[in-house]
Amino acid sequence: MISKGKIYKEIGIGIIAAAIATLIGCFLFVEFYSKYSFEKSLALIIEGNLESKVLVLGAIANFFVFFVFLKKNQIYRARGVLIASFIIAILVAVLTLFF
Determine the structural domain holding residue 44 and report its residue range.
Answer: 4-98
The secondary structure of 22-80 as a DSSP string is HHHHHHHHHHHH-SS-HHHHHHHHHHTT-HHHHHHHHHTHHHHHHHHHHHTT-HHHHHH
Give the per-residue pLDDT at 59. 95
Q: How many CB atoms lie within 10 A of CB 39?
A: 8
pLDDT at residue 4 tops 90: yes
Is 36 within 8 Å of 69 (Cβ atoms)? no
The predicted model gives 17-31 an average pLDDT of 97
Q: Is 18 a residue whose pLDDT tops 90?
A: yes
Measured in residues, the chain has a length of 99
Mean pLDDT of 32-59: 94
- Please enumerate in sequence order all residues whose Cβ is within 8 A of that of 55, keeping only pairs 6 or more positions apart, or say none: 22, 26, 88, 91, 92, 95
Quick: pLDDT tens for 79-91.
999 999 999 999 9
Give me the sign of the Cα torsion angle 19, 25, 28, 31: negative
Number of domains into which the chain is organized: 1
